[in-house]
């Protein structure tokens, strides 16, 4: 079964082609296009190059196309990318303006170009469908909640990948099996001790998710992907009073406030140097105090959420780091894990610096294991697309 995963940006189109054969998962091809103005002709180009490489003969060799859609409000999960999904993407576009309109347009073009090929949307919010009721609420009037102001959570594909892979690495195939079938069967009880994982997806955008027995109990992102931790140029959590206050004080329009919160805030706004943590670190080491504050706040925010889920879970069997920062920055991992010996976590500095993949970075005596697991969001989209198609077509 060949599954194409399409990653659509406002001017970009990236794709990966996976082949599933029994239990074998193969990445057959990947590629991308920049400065895209028309998805229709880009889809043609993509198919032509897959044909030229001998991966598919024609569109009938494509058994499904999966999309990592971001925000659809109440429409979530893994479901056919139909008109309802398109409407949901457009209806919540204000909450994910960089992602939702391109996905709505791209899905429409795929449907026109590939009639008969199943299109599947896996929402980034899907992993949070089973959080306790309080964890998806803000303390706003009920009419706001009814209108959609609630905590949705994002990076669901990545955190689901971590939930499954960490369970496998910890020898908990029972939990891994629950994660695999989560979107078909929902959460399942576990016999034996609960598996408690805290997943830190730290990259250009970052979030921390608490996971019990393969199911998210909460996450740091809420209504939109600009909440939670400070992001590269997006603000992260902010007191709602700041917005009307600063609009009056600096005489800013709502559009300008939005622009500054999404483009000039986060690590860039804090440091004044860069949105890239490597450059911020260099500046901090050279004595730049703002850069140091950006780093300190990022570490504090990660620890704030790790701590919150540690208590909610009643402990932590594995603390997992993933994405650009989580996988590559030993000093961030070290800072996040500092001073936790009373909680039972002791990082092995030498192993952490060597950064072996999917290997415990904590000491043998540490009750909590620390792992780097490279995430693979596209594979999750492909797997879920396959599961949905297989379930609906037998
Ligand atoms: P995205 O979230 O945009 O998909 P990534 O997960 O690839 O991005 O993360 C990109 C970020 O990872 C960069 O902005 C950079 O700050 C950070 N990063 C990558 N390598 C390192 C490193 N060695 N040390 C610190 N940060 C790093």
Residue nearest atom 2 in ligand 1 by C-alpha distance:
204
Mean pLDDT of 69-93: 97
Mean pLDDT of 352-381: 98
What confidence score (pLDDT) does residue 126 get? 98
Residue nearest atom 12 in ligand 1 by C-alpha distance:
324
Instruction: Give the model's confidence band at 393: pLDDT under 50 very low, under 70 low, under 90 confident, else very high.
Output: low
Q: Which residues line ligand 1 (CB under 6 A)?
A: 203-205, 232, 276-278, 323-325, 328-329
Q: Is residue 379 part of a domain?
A: no
**Ligand 1 atom closest to the CA of 232, numbered from 1:** 14
Q: Number of structural domains, the chain?
A: 2
Mutate to test the pocket of ligand 1, among 274, 324, 334, 335 (most ligand atoms within 8 A of CB): 324
**What are the phi and psi torsion angles at 211 (to 5°)?**
-130, 120
Residue 59 pLDDT > 90: no
Q: Note the maximum CA span of the chain.
A: 62
| Averaged confidence pLDDT in the chain | 96
Residue nearest atom 4 in ligand 1 by C-alpha distance:
204
Extended beta strands in 155-292, E state = 196-201, 207-212, 215-219
CA of 268 to the centre of ligand 1 (A): 14
Token pair for 258: 């939005």
Distant-in-sequence, close-in-space partners of 142: CB < 8 Å, separation ≥ 6: none
Q: Does 176 share its domain with 40?
A: no
Dist CA 100 CA 103 (whole Å): 5
What confidence score (pLDDT) does residue 391 get? 87
Q: What is the pLDDT of residues 225-282, one digit of tens each?
A: 999 999 999 999 999 999 999 999 999 999 999 999 999 999 999 999 999 999 999 9
Distant-in-sequence, close-in-space partners of 205: CB < 8 Å, separation ≥ 6: 154, 155, 225, 231, 232, 234
Mean pLDDT of 307-324: 98
Q: Does 195 share its domain with 301?
A: yes
Mean pLDDT of 134-139: 97
183, 277 Cβ separation under 8 angstroms: no
Mean pLDDT of 8-32: 94
CA of 21 to the centre of ligand 1 (A): 33
User: Domain of 237: which CATH number?
Assistant: 3.30.420.40
> pLDDT exceeding 70 applies to what percent of the chain?
99
Q: Does 364 share its domain with 216?
A: yes
Q: Is residue 36 part of a domain?
A: yes
What confidence score (pLDDT) does residue 392 get? 78
Q: Does 168 share its domain with 38?
A: no
Q: Is residue 147 part of a domain?
A: no
Q: Does 247 share its domain with 367?
A: yes
Q: Does 105 share its domain with 161?
A: no
Angstrom CA distances, 156 to 78, 132, 161, 187, 327, stand at 11, 16, 8, 15, 18
| Residue 97 neighbours by CB distance under 10 Å | 15
Domain boundary among 101, 123, 145: 123
Q: Is residue 183 part of a domain?
A: yes
Dist CA 84 CA 72 (whole Å): 10
What confidence score (pLDDT) does residue 238 get? 98
Q: What is the pLDDT of residues 195-236, one digit of tens each?
A: 999 999 999 999 999 999 999 999 999 999 999 999 999 999
Dist CA 51 CA 47 (whole Å): 6
Q: Does 118 share its domain with 190?
A: no
Q: Does 195 share its domain with 113?
A: no
Residue 188 pLDDT > 90: yes
Dist CA 178 CA 225 (whole Å): 27
Token pair for 109: 């073009």
Mean pLDDT of 276-304: 98
Instruction: Give the model's confidence band at 60: pLDDT under 50 very low, under 70 low, under 90 confident, else very high.
Output: confident
Token pair for 92: 């919540």
What confidence score (pLDDT) does residue 246 get? 98
Q: Is residue 290 part of a domain?
A: yes
- Closest C-alpha to 70, from 91, 90, 96: 96
**What are the phi and psi torsion angles at 200 (to 5°)?**
-110, 105
What confidence score (pLDDT) does residue 394 get? 53
Domain with 285 in it: 156-372
Distant-in-sequence, close-in-space partners of 151: CB < 8 Å, separation ≥ 6: 128, 131, 135, 136, 137, 138, 218, 219, 221, 222, 223
């Amino acid at each position: 079964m060949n599954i194409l995963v399409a990653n659509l940006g406002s001017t970009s189109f990236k794709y990966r082609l996976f082949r599933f054969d029994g239990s074998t998962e193969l990445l057959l091809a990947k590629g991308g296009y920049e400065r895209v103005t028309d998805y229709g002709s880009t889809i043609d180009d993509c198919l032509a190059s897959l044909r030229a490489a001998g991966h598919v003969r024609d569109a009938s060799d494509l058994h499904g196309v999966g999309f990592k859609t971001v925000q659809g409000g109440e429409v979530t999960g893994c479901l056919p990318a139909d008109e309802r999904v398109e409407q949901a993407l457009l209806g919540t576009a204000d909450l994910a303006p960089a992602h939702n309109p391109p996905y709505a347009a791209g899905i429409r073009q795929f449907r026109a170009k590939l009639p008969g090929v199943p299109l599947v949307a896996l929402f980034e919010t899907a992993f949070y469908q089973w959080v306790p009721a309080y964890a998806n609420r803000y303390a706003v009037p009920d009419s706001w909640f009814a209108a959609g102001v609630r905590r949705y959570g994002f990076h669901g594909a990545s955190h689901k990948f971590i939930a499954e892979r960490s369970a496998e690495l910890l020898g908990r195939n029972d939990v891994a099996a629950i994660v695999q079938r989560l979107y078909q069967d929902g959460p399942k009880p576990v016999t034996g001790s609960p598996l408690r994982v805290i997943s830190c997806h730290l990259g250009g955008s970052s979030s921390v998710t608490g996971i019990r027995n393969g199911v998210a109990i909460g996450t740091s992102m809420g209504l939109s992907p600009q909440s939670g931790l400070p992001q590269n140029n997006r603000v992260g959590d902010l007191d709602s009073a700041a917005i009307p206050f600063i609009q009056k004080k600096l005489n800013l329009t709502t559009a300008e406030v939005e622009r500054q919160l999404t483009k000039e805030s986060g690590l860039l706004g804090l440091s004044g140097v860069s949105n890239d943590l490597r450059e911020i670190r260099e500046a901090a080491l050279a004595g730049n105090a703002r850069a140091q504050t950006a780093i300190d706040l990022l570490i504090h925010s990660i620890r704030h959420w790790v701590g919150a889920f540690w208590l909610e879970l009643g402990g932590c069997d594995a603390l997992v780091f993933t994405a650009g920062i989580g996988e590559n920055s030993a000093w961030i991992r070290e800072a996040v894990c500092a001073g936790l010996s009373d909680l039972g976590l002791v990082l092995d500095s030498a192993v952490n610096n060597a950064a072996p993949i999917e290997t415990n970075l904590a000491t043998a005596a540490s009750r909590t294991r620390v792992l780097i697991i490279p995430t693979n969001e596209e594979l999750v989209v492909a797997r879920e697309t396959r599961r949905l198609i297989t379930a609906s077509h037998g």
